[in-house]
């Protein structure tokens, strides 16, 4: 590839480091521009939807936000219908969920946003099967990428070593290398090793840790007529927890706390820990539930953004995407959606007839695709007690924005107009400016705080404000 990426002149070979959702979708896009694409993956891909060691968070709760659903459908048409056909639950918000946030219970009005809550390996398997069916895309499995070929001017491939094997790594030459290796990316060190400048890293870390187990519901629906429970932590109430359905009638139950008071992995102690939540409904559900797995913990929850979009002495022919570019506190459920949205951004940047797709220009498009999710995750975590990192300082516009957002959050649990706008932003289907639309702004600035339920709303409200057809694929399942 010439002049940065130069994909319109015909790329011979592109390499993607990492075969999870971000890497697979990047490979799907690159196959339209390169003669061949190779995905280098440290694991060996399973034939079935099984957990992989290379996805350490894979056994924990995942949601596919609506923005991610829309992006996936652009790249792999019909994939969300396949997901539903294979049993992935689809939850409407707020109608299907008993949810507490900011000291308030949500009214269960008609749903305006929809989430898929199935187990992570199911979606990854569907994406992998569709992507790797393309004969232009090959894999190198059971191998680690351990460095870059090239110099500070241009990357010309990667160094690959078979896992468990000694000796020198072998070169895998390429015209473009895309790092999709995840939050543990070693690319900054690799760039330094070839004389280039690593990116500046922005970090915010709250010390949040969480633990997750698989359960079957033993309540027979006597606690609430809903599909899930979710208690969201904030600066004044730092414990979180929820029970969300996955395939085959099972639930993933996740509890979270901050450093020094992390949830335990002993099953009985895990149930006892749920008493720390601001209401006993999740604990009561757990006491009746039947455990089907051990409880596992996860503690790598920092927000990290690597600023490859800023000028620096970095080579052409190298891009970063997914968690290797921007990783979020997983409690906000943004990772899979941003992976898909980033692949759409990559597709659009490479196909833009108005601009030459140089490395920096394409990298900036990838960074923009993750910017809103970063603003949400980092903005929320910045207020948590004990948060540390170099991105904690608020900007000059943050104080008035925080004042406005506080008023939004006071209203969105009980006001359907504000709630709909806020959910569209949180699910990455609308920009932050949706919160300032005239109808929303009037409610935020001039309406009193609406009442919200004093206790968990055990039954959904019967309203007709929204229908199932408002969601992607609505009415198909």
Residue of 135, 181, 145, 165 whose CA lies nearest to 20: 181
Does residue 335 lie in a domain region?
yes
Please give the biggest Cα pair distance in the chain.
69
Over residues 179-205, the mean pLDDT reads 97
Does residue 336 lie in a domain region?
yes
Q: 4 pLDDT band (50/70/90 cuts)?
A: low
Whole-angstrom distance, CA of residue 256 vs CA of residue 243: 12
Does residue 39 lie in a domain region?
yes
Beta strand pairing call for 176-179 and 318-320: parallel
Asked if pLDDT for residue 467 goes beyond 60, the answer is: no
Does residue 334 lie in a domain region?
yes
Does residue 386 lie in a domain region?
no
Say which CATH number the domain at 33 has: 3.50.50.60
Cα 61 → chain centroid? 11
Q: Which range marks the domain in which residue 321 is found?
A: 7-62+123-203+302-379
Does residue 131 lie in a domain region?
yes
Asked if pLDDT for residue 464 goes beyond 80, the answer is: no
More confident residue, 466 or 279: 279
Average pLDDT, the chain: 92
Cβ atoms of 344 and 25 within 8 Å: the answer is no
Helix-then-strand count for the chain, H and E: 12, 21
CA distance to 16, 26, 29, 397, per residue, from 39 (Å): 5, 10, 13, 42
The residue to which tokens 């339920």 are assigned: 453
Q: How many CB atoms lie within 10 A of CB 159?
A: 17
Over residues 93-118, the mean pLDDT reads 96
Cβ atoms of 60 and 254 within 8 Å: the answer is yes
Does residue 348 lie in a domain region?
yes
Phi, psi (degrees; rounded to nearest 5) at 424: -65, -35
Q: Is 283 helix (H, G, I), strand (E, B) or coil?
A: helix
Asked if pLDDT for residue 475 goes beyond 70, the answer is: no
Over residues 136-147, the mean pLDDT reads 97
For the chain, the domain total comes to 1
Top mean pLDDT of 219-233, 298-312, 387-401, 460-474 is at: 298-312
Asked if pLDDT for residue 474 goes beyond 70, the answer is: no
**Which pTM value belongs to this model?**
0.93
Does residue 96 lie in a domain region?
no
Chain length of the chain:
477
Q: Give the model confidence (pLDDT) of 23-74 as tens digits.
A: 999 999 999 999 999 999 999 999 999 999 888 788 899 999 999 999 999 9
């Amino acid at each position: 590839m010439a002049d940065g990426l130069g994909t319109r002149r015909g790329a011979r070979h592109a390499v993607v480091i990492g075969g999870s959702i971000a890497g697979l979708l990047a490979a799907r896009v690159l196959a339209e521009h390169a003669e061949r694409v190779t995905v280098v993956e440290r694991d060996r891909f399973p034939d079935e939807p099984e957990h992989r060691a290379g996805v350490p968070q894979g056994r924990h709760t995942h949601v596919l936000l609506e923005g991610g659903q829309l992006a996936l459908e652009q790249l792999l048409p019909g994939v969300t219908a396949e997901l539903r056909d294979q049993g992935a639950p689809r939850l409407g918000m707020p109608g299907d969920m008993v949810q507490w946030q900011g000291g308030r219970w949500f009214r269960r009005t008609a749903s305006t946003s929809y989430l898929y809550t199935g187990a992570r390996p199911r979606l990854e398997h569907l994406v992998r099967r569709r992507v790797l069916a393309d004969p232009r895309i090959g894999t190198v499995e059971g191998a680690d990428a351990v460095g870059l070929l090239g110099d500070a001017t241009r990357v010309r491939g990667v160094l690959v070593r078979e896992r468990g094997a000694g000796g020198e790594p072998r070169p895998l030459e390429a015209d473009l290398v895309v790092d999709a290796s995840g939050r543990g990316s070693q690319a900054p060190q690799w760039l330094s090793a070839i004389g280039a400048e690593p990116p500046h890293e922005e970090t915010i870390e709250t010390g949040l840790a969480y633990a997750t187990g698989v359960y079957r519901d033993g309540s027979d629906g006597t606690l609430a007529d809903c599909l899930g429970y979710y208690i969201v932590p904030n600066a004044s109430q730092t414990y979180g927890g929820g029970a969300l359905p996955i395939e085959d009638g099972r639930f993933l139950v996740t509890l979270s706390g901050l450093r020094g008071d992390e949830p335990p992995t002993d099953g009985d102690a895990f149930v006892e820990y749920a008493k720390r939540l601001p209401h006993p409904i999740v604990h009561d559900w757990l006491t009746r539930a039947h455990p089907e797995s051990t409880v596992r913990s996860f503690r790598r929850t920092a927000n990290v953004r690597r600023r490859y979009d800023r000028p620096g002495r970095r080579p052409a022919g190298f891009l970063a995407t997914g968690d290797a570019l921007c990783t979020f506190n997983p409690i906000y459920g943004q990772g899979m959606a941003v992976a898909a949205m980033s692949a759409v951004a990559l597709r659009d940047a490479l196909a833009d007839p108005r601009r030459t797709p140089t490395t920096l220009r394409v990298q900036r498009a990838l960074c923009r695709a993750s910017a809103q999710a970063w603003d949400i995750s980092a903005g929320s975590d910045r207020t948590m007690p004990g948060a540390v990192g170099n991105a904690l300082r608020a900007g000059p516009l943050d104080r008035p924005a925080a004042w406005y957002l506080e008023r939004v959050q006071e209203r969105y649990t009980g006001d359907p107009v504000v709630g709909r706008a806020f959910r569209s932003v949180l699910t990455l289907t609308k920009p932050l400016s949706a919160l300032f639309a005239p109808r929303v702004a009037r409610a935020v600035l001039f309406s009193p705080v609406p009442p919200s339920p004093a206790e968990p709303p055990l039954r959904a409200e019967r309203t007709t404000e929204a229908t199932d057809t408002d969601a992607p694929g609505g009415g198909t399942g």
